[in-house]
Amino acid sequence: MMARAGVLKGVLPLSRAAAARDALAGVQLASMDIPQVLGYARIAGMPAVTGLYTVFLPLVAFALFGASRHLVVAADSATATIFASRLSTMAPAASAEYAALAAMVALLTAGLLLIARVFKLGFLADFLSRTVLVGFLTGVGMQVGIAMLGDMFGLPGHAARSIDQLLLVVHEAALINRPTLAISLLVVVAILACKHFLPRVPVPLIAVVAGIAASDLYDFAARGISVLGPVAGGLPPLSMPSVTWQQMLDLLPVAASCFVMIVAQSAAASRVFAERYHESVDTNADLLGIAAANAAAALSGAFVVNGSPTQTAMADLAGSRSQFAQLVFAAVVVVVLLFFSRYLRYLPHCILASIVFTIAIGLINLKTLFAIRRESPGEFALALFTAAAVVLIGVEHGILVAVALSLLRHVRHSYRPHTMVLVPGEDGVWVPVPAAPGIQTMPGLIVYRFGADLFYANDHFFVDDVRRLVDRAPSAVRWFVVDASAITDLDYSAARSVGELFNALKQGGIEVIFARVNRYLRSDMDRHGITPIVEERCIFGTLHEALRTAGIEQPDAHVKHAP
C-alpha cells in the first residue's frame, strides 16, 4: 500500500526471508562503509563525525522516497571534492562557518533536485557521456589522491591546488614523519591486496579499529603521529544552516555542479543494478529520494550526499537487495554515534588519509580507459582532457568542462554526420560507401544517405554534399534518391535550404526521390512545404518503391541496405 502511495518503493515488497538477508547485508555494509564515510568527511573538509551523519538520516530519507532498491545514497568523493574546492576559499575547513556553508550547499542541491523532479528532468543524466564521466572521475581520483599525500607522509602543510600540493610534498620531503609513512604504507598495501584477494574482508574497518587501539595504547599523538582529537558524540542536532544571502548566491554554482554529478552518477548506478536484476528504473522518483536525502543532510549538519556507484556495488556484494539493508545500516550508525564515537579521537589522520587514498585509486578506472583508447581514440582524448581539467583547474570547473564536452561531442556528430552512397560491390550487391565526389550508384542514379536529422547547423553540409555529388558524377544524373532512414526531424532553416536545392535540381532535369520517409519527417515535409517541391509521387516509405520509380525493377536482389 505504501509503495503504491509513493513511499518505500525501494523497500516493499519484503518477505521475512528477504528482510533477514538484507539485515545481515546492512550490518556487513556498515562494517565496510563507516571507515569510508569518515574518509569522505576528510575530503569534504568537515569534522569526521559528519561523515557518520551522512549515513543516518539521508539513508532513511532515500529509503522512504526513492525508487531504486539498490542505490546507496551517502557521502561521496566526487561531490565532496566539488564543494570542498570552493568552500575552502570561503571559510577555514571544519570550522562552524564552513559546516554551515556545506549544509547550505546540500540544501540548495536538494532544491535543484526537487525542481528536476517536478519538471521530470531525469533525462538530463543522458547528456553527460560515459566517456567524459570516466575522465572526470579519473581526475577526481588523481586530485583526491594528491590531496591525501600530506597526511600520509605526516607533513604539516596543505595546499588547495593539486599542483601546489605536489610541489609542497617535494619541498617538505625532509620533514616526512617515518612512523606516519610506515603506517600509511601498511594500510594502503593491506587494503589493495585484500580488495584483490579477499574482497569481503572489511580491511578499512580493521585498520580503523586497530589504529584507534594502537594510538590509545602507545600514545601516537606524543610520538608525532597526528590524530583526529575530540569527536562530538550523540545524534546530530537538527537545525537550518545559517548563511548570508550573498553567501547563498555564491554557493549556487557549487550546488549546480553537485546537482549535475548527482544526476549523472545516480542514474548510471541505479540503471546498472536495475538491469542486473531485471527491475524497472524510475529516475524521477530517485531524484525525489535524493532531494529528500540532501535536505536531511542539510538539517542534520552533514554535507551533500550522492547515489554512489562504489557504495552501491559494496552493498550488492554484501547481499543487499532492497533499501531495508540501508535502514539497518542507519541503525548501526545510531549505535556508533551513541556509544562509540568518543573512541574516534584516537584515530590517526594517516589511516583515514590512506583509506581515502585507496578510494581515490579506485576512481581511476584504467581498464575502461584502455578500452576507450582501443575502441575510440577520439573519445579517449576527451576523457584525458576532462581528467586534466579537473586536476589543473579544479573539480567545480572540471564538471562544467565535462558537461560542455559531452554536449559538444553530441553536436559534432549531428553537425557532421556520416553520409553514404550505394554503389555496386564485387558480387553485384550494392553496398554503402562514404559519399565522395565522383561516386555514383549507377549511370544516371545516385542513392544518398544522410546520417542525422536536418537542422540549421548542418543543412549547408547536406546541400554542399549533394551539389558536389551531382556536379562531379561520371555521367549525367537523372534520379537523386535521398535515403531518409536517419532523418526524423527537419527544422525551418533546413527546410528553406533543401527546398531551394531541390528546386535547382529539378530545374536541371534531375528527379528528386525520398525513400524510407517516416511519419515524423513526412509531417515536417508537409508543414515546411517540401512535399509540393518533391511531389507526392516521389515520397516513399521503402527504398524498394523509390528505386522502382527510378527504373530499378527488382532492388531486393541487388541492394544491401545501408546500416
**Sign of the C-alpha dihedral, residues 352, 353, 358, 359?**
positive
Q: Can you give the pLDDT at residue 124?
A: 67
Residue 371 lies in a domain: yes
Instruction: Identify the CATH number of the domain in which residue 546 sits.
Output: 3.30.750.24
Q: Answer yes or no: is 428 within a domain.
A: yes
Q: 401 and 477: one domain?
A: no
Residues 443 and 327 in one domain: no
Q: Return the residue matching grid coordinates 530517485.
A: 286
Residue 212 covered by a domain: yes
Please indicate, yes or no, whether residues 403 and 315 belong to a single structural domain of this protein.
yes
- Residue 285's H or E segment, with its range, is helix 283-299
**What pLDDT sits at residue 272?**
66
pLDDT, tens digit (0-9, with 9 covering 90-100), for 279-309: 877 888 889 999 999 999 999 999 999 987 7
pLDDT at position 155: 85
Is 9 within a domain?
Answer: no
Residue ranges making up the domain that contains 529: 418-557
Is the same domain home to 161 and 269?
yes
pLDDT-based confidence at residue 498 (cuts at 50, 70, 90): very high
Same domain, 230 and 163: yes
**Tens digit of each residue's pLDDT (9 = 90 or more) over 379-413:** 888 888 888 888 887 766 776 777 777 777 777 77
Contact 470, 437 (CB under 8 A): no
CA dist 26 and 543 (Å) reads: 58
Q: Are residues 208 and 87 in the same domain?
A: yes
Residue 513 placed within a domain = yes
Domain boundary residue among 378, 410, 442?
Answer: 410
Query: What span, in angstroms and rounded, lies between the C-alpha atoms of 431 and 485?
Result: 16
Report which of residues 491 and 33 the model is more confident about: 491
Q: Show which of 376, 410, 444 is a domain's final residue.
A: 410
In a domain, 456, yes or no: yes
423, 406: one domain: no
Could you tell me the three cell numbers for 43? 575530503
Quick one: pLDDT at residue 563? 44
d(CA 314, CA 321): 12
Which grid coordinates belong to 14? 519484503
Give mean pLDDT, residues 140-152. Answer: 84
Q: What's the pLDDT score for residue 125?
A: 64
Q: Work out the burial of residue 532: count CB atoms within 10 Å of its CB; fewer than 13 is exposed, 13-18 middle, 19 or more buried.
A: exposed
11 lies in some domain: no
Q: Which residue has the higher pLDDT, 96 or 131?
A: 96
pLDDT at 297: 96
Q: Which residue has the higher pLDDT, 560 or 131?
A: 131
In which band, very low, low, confident or very high, does the pLDDT at 510 lie, cut at 50, 70 and 90? very high
Q: Cell match 569527536: residue? A: 231
In tens, the pLDDT along 28-65 reads: 888 778 887 887 888 888 998 899 999 999 999 999 99
Residues contacting 7, CB < 8 A, separation 6+: 64, 65
What pLDDT is attached to residue 528? 94
Instruction: Check residue 53 and give its pLDDT.
Output: 94
In one-letter notation, the amino acid at residue 32 is M
pLDDT category at 127 given cuts 50, 70, 90 is: low
How many folded domains does the chain comprise?
2
Domain end: 410, 429, 450, which one? 410
Q: Is residue 6 part of a domain?
A: no
pLDDT tens-digit series, residues 438-482? 999 889 999 999 998 998 889 999 999 999 999 999 999 999 999
Same domain, 290 and 401: yes
Provide CB contacts within 8 A for 212, sequence distance 6+: 343, 344, 346, 347
Sign, CA torsion 269/272/275/276: negative
Return mean pLDDT, the chain.
85
Residues 398 and 464 in one domain: no
Closest CA to 119 of 257, 8, 263, 296: 263
Which residues in 464-522 belong to E strands, given as ranges?
479-483, 511-515
For residues 531 and 511, membership in a common domain is answered with: yes
Considering the domain architecture, whether residues 495 and 355 belong to the same structural domain is answered as no
* Domain co-membership, 95 together with 45: yes
